[in-house]
Amino acid sequence: MPRDLFKSLKYTLHHGAEAAAQTTITPASGIDMAGYETCIFLVHFGTITAGAATSIEVHTSSDDGAVDTYTALLGSGVTVADTQDDSIVTVEIKKPLERYLKCIVNRATQDSVVGNIIAIQGGARKEPVSNTGEVHLSPIEGTA
Protein backbone atom coordinates (compact mmCIF):
# COMPACT_ATOMS: atom_id res chain seq x y z
CA MET A 1 0.00 0.00 0.00
CA PRO A 2 1.40 3.45 -0.90
CA ARG A 3 2.35 5.79 1.92
CA ASP A 4 0.10 8.75 2.66
CA LEU A 5 1.86 11.98 1.70
CA PHE A 6 -0.07 13.69 4.48
CA LYS A 7 1.58 11.47 7.10
CA SER A 8 5.08 11.63 5.61
CA LEU A 9 5.39 15.37 4.93
CA LYS A 10 5.38 18.30 7.35
CA TYR A 11 3.79 21.58 6.21
CA THR A 12 4.77 24.89 7.84
CA LEU A 13 3.74 28.47 7.16
CA HIS A 14 7.25 29.92 7.02
CA HIS A 15 6.12 33.53 6.45
CA GLY A 16 2.76 35.21 5.92
CA ALA A 17 1.55 37.55 3.19
CA GLU A 18 3.40 40.75 2.35
CA ALA A 19 1.91 43.71 0.47
CA ALA A 20 3.48 45.20 -2.64
CA ALA A 21 6.93 46.56 -1.79
CA GLN A 22 10.59 46.60 -2.75
CA THR A 23 11.97 45.20 0.52
CA THR A 24 13.63 41.90 1.36
CA ILE A 25 11.44 39.39 3.19
CA THR A 26 13.29 37.48 5.91
CA PRO A 27 11.23 35.06 8.04
CA ALA A 28 11.68 35.48 11.81
CA SER A 29 12.88 31.91 12.38
CA GLY A 30 14.20 29.05 10.34
CA ILE A 31 12.83 25.62 9.51
CA ASP A 32 14.32 22.98 11.84
CA MET A 33 15.52 20.11 9.66
CA ALA A 34 16.30 17.75 12.56
CA GLY A 35 14.72 14.43 11.56
CA TYR A 36 14.04 15.45 7.93
CA GLU A 37 15.96 14.86 4.73
CA THR A 38 14.58 17.51 2.39
CA CYS A 39 12.68 20.79 2.37
CA ILE A 40 10.77 22.40 -0.49
CA PHE A 41 9.96 26.09 -0.14
CA LEU A 42 6.92 27.31 -2.08
CA VAL A 43 6.70 31.08 -2.51
CA HIS A 44 3.36 32.36 -3.75
CA PHE A 45 3.61 35.59 -5.71
CA GLY A 46 0.77 37.98 -6.46
CA THR A 47 1.22 40.97 -8.76
CA ILE A 48 4.79 41.67 -9.83
CA THR A 49 5.27 45.12 -11.38
CA ALA A 50 7.08 45.25 -14.73
CA GLY A 51 10.80 45.80 -14.21
CA ALA A 52 10.84 44.28 -10.72
CA ALA A 53 14.06 42.50 -9.70
CA THR A 54 12.70 39.62 -7.64
CA SER A 55 14.33 36.38 -6.50
CA ILE A 56 14.29 33.77 -3.76
CA GLU A 57 17.22 32.07 -2.04
CA VAL A 58 17.79 29.73 0.88
CA HIS A 59 20.05 30.51 3.83
CA THR A 60 21.32 28.12 6.51
CA SER A 61 22.45 28.21 10.15
CA SER A 62 23.48 25.59 12.69
CA ASP A 63 21.58 27.27 15.56
CA ASP A 64 18.73 29.32 14.02
CA GLY A 65 20.89 32.43 13.96
CA ALA A 66 21.62 32.55 17.71
CA VAL A 67 25.41 32.63 17.24
CA ASP A 68 25.85 31.18 13.75
CA THR A 69 24.30 33.82 11.47
CA TYR A 70 22.32 32.72 8.44
CA THR A 71 24.36 32.41 5.24
CA ALA A 72 23.16 31.88 1.66
CA LEU A 73 23.49 28.40 0.18
CA LEU A 74 25.52 28.26 -3.02
CA GLY A 75 23.30 27.94 -6.10
CA SER A 76 20.01 28.18 -4.18
CA GLY A 77 18.93 31.45 -5.82
CA VAL A 78 15.95 31.42 -8.18
CA THR A 79 15.14 34.46 -10.31
CA VAL A 80 11.46 35.39 -10.52
CA ALA A 81 10.46 37.06 -13.79
CA ASP A 82 8.24 40.13 -13.67
CA THR A 83 5.77 38.15 -15.83
CA GLN A 84 5.25 35.49 -13.14
CA ASP A 85 2.21 37.15 -11.53
CA ASP A 86 0.03 34.81 -9.47
CA SER A 87 2.52 31.94 -9.60
CA ILE A 88 4.31 29.66 -7.18
CA VAL A 89 8.11 29.52 -7.33
CA THR A 90 9.91 26.68 -5.58
CA VAL A 91 13.36 25.72 -4.39
CA GLU A 92 14.29 22.41 -2.73
CA ILE A 93 17.23 21.71 -0.44
CA LYS A 94 18.14 18.05 0.08
CA LYS A 95 20.33 16.83 2.93
CA PRO A 96 21.37 20.27 4.22
CA LEU A 97 24.71 20.37 6.03
CA GLU A 98 23.34 22.59 8.83
CA ARG A 99 20.19 22.17 10.91
CA TYR A 100 18.14 25.28 10.02
CA LEU A 101 16.95 26.66 6.68
CA LYS A 102 15.32 29.99 5.86
CA CYS A 103 13.81 31.11 2.54
CA ILE A 104 14.56 34.76 1.73
CA VAL A 105 12.61 36.78 -0.87
CA ASN A 106 14.53 39.63 -2.49
CA ARG A 107 12.37 42.43 -3.96
CA ALA A 108 13.91 45.47 -5.65
CA THR A 109 13.44 48.07 -8.40
CA GLN A 110 9.62 47.70 -8.60
CA ASP A 111 6.89 46.31 -6.31
CA SER A 112 6.17 42.60 -5.83
CA VAL A 113 3.36 41.03 -3.78
CA VAL A 114 4.09 37.83 -1.83
CA GLY A 115 1.14 35.71 -0.72
CA ASN A 116 3.12 33.51 1.68
CA ILE A 117 6.07 31.16 2.01
CA ILE A 118 5.29 27.51 2.76
CA ALA A 119 7.93 24.96 3.81
CA ILE A 120 7.26 21.28 3.06
CA GLN A 121 9.66 18.92 4.80
CA GLY A 122 10.03 15.33 3.66
CA GLY A 123 12.05 12.21 4.30
CA ALA A 124 10.96 12.10 7.94
CA ARG A 125 12.92 9.65 10.04
CA LYS A 126 9.83 9.16 12.24
CA GLU A 127 6.30 8.80 10.94
CA PRO A 128 3.54 9.75 11.07
CA VAL A 129 4.27 13.44 10.93
CA SER A 130 1.82 15.61 12.88
CA ASN A 131 -0.32 17.80 10.58
CA THR A 132 -3.78 19.27 11.04
CA GLY A 133 -6.25 17.79 8.58
CA GLU A 134 -7.53 14.47 7.28
CA VAL A 135 -6.71 11.73 4.78
CA HIS A 136 -9.50 9.98 2.80
CA LEU A 137 -8.97 6.75 0.86
CA SER A 138 -11.24 6.32 -2.19
CA PRO A 139 -14.09 8.48 -0.86
CA ILE A 140 -17.49 8.22 -2.51
CA GLU A 141 -19.51 11.25 -3.63
CA GLY A 142 -21.73 12.89 -1.04
CA THR A 143 -21.87 15.67 1.51
CA ALA A 144 -18.44 16.76 2.66
Q: For the residues 37-49, what does the mean pLDDT come to?
A: 97
The reported pLDDT for the residue numbered 2 is 54
What pLDDT, on a 0 to 100 scale, did the predictor assign at position 102? 98
> What residue ranges define each of the domains in the chain, with the CATH number in brackets?
5-120 (2.60.120.1110)
On the CB side of 114, how many CA atoms lie within 13 Å of its CA?
A: 29
Dihedral, CA of residue 133, residue 136, residue 140 and residue 144, to nearest 10:
-10
Q: CA-CA distances (angstroms) from residue 47 to 19, 43, 88, 122?
A: 10, 13, 12, 30
pLDDT for the residue 60: 98
State residue 132's pLDDT score: 76
Q: What does pTM read for this prediction?
A: 0.89
> Cβ distance 15 to 56 under 8 Å?
no
107-137 tens-digit pLDDT: 999 999 999 999 999 998 877 667 777 777 7
Distance CA 135, CA 77 (A): 34
Query: Which residues in 68-99 are b (16+ Cβ under 10 Å) and which e?
Result: eebeebeebebebebeeeeeebebebeebebb
Closest-CA residue to 56 (of 113, 118, 105): 105
Which tens digit of pLDDT belongs to each residue from 54-108? 999 999 999 999 999 999 999 999 999 999 999 999 999 999 999 999 999 999 9
Query: Cα–Cα distances in Å, from 69 out to 62, 77, 102?
Result: 8, 18, 11
**pLDDT tens sequence across 30-42:** 999 999 999 999 9
Residue 3: pLDDT band by 50, 70, 90 thresholds? low
Between the two ends of the chain, the Cα-to-Cα distance in Å is 25
